[in-house]
Structure 1
């Protein structure tokens, strides 16, 4: 059956081509998956059933086996970073996260003020996950 030319082709997950896919990171199973909607700051991981945190399209997940990089990503998210462009590269190691977070504390404060419900969802999900990485 021919598709009507005015109808955009379906995208993975059934979303229209105008919808962007956004990454969600699961720190329990060290995986990232994409969904078309950013309506929820936290979704259930399709693999382990744990919480997955919605990040920006700039996020590039580390390899599942790179535990140190996943620890760094989790630390950044715990500080409030959802992977926006910031004018400087994100830290390369976990040891650099605290200083990076201090340099961008004003920005993170403004982001938290813009989206208090989203950050409350993220903080609740993260507080339920102590020692998340397997």
Structure 2
């Protein structure tokens, strides 16, 4: 939730955070303690005029769902590639073109995932987060900041 709220703040989206917490909790509760995941997305909202300027009177759009699923862990090949996404990957957004392009390149090479790096530092995978051990044996993952 901290990452979501941080992203909302970085994008200057005005929304009642307690409302968001309630909606996500309701979705999670709908899984009834079964395995699954919650997807939740917030956008600035719908403006009547297409413009790159945004205004505070637009109501944020919220969309989410809960999906039951069984998680199975099995090995898969992964491709390593340069992170071609935009420079603010700490802001989770629906700008997925970079992920889609490299995931399909990985698929064409027989891989089920791609691990991206920038300047020699692992950033993220195409469809998942990356946790790794650094040279000092510490577990690392992508930073919430730039």
Q: Specify which structure has the higher proportion of helix.
A: 1
Q: TM-score, normalised by structure 2?
A: 0.20
Greater share of strand residues, 1 or 2? 2
Q: Which has the higher contact order (CA 8 A, sep 6+)?
A: 1
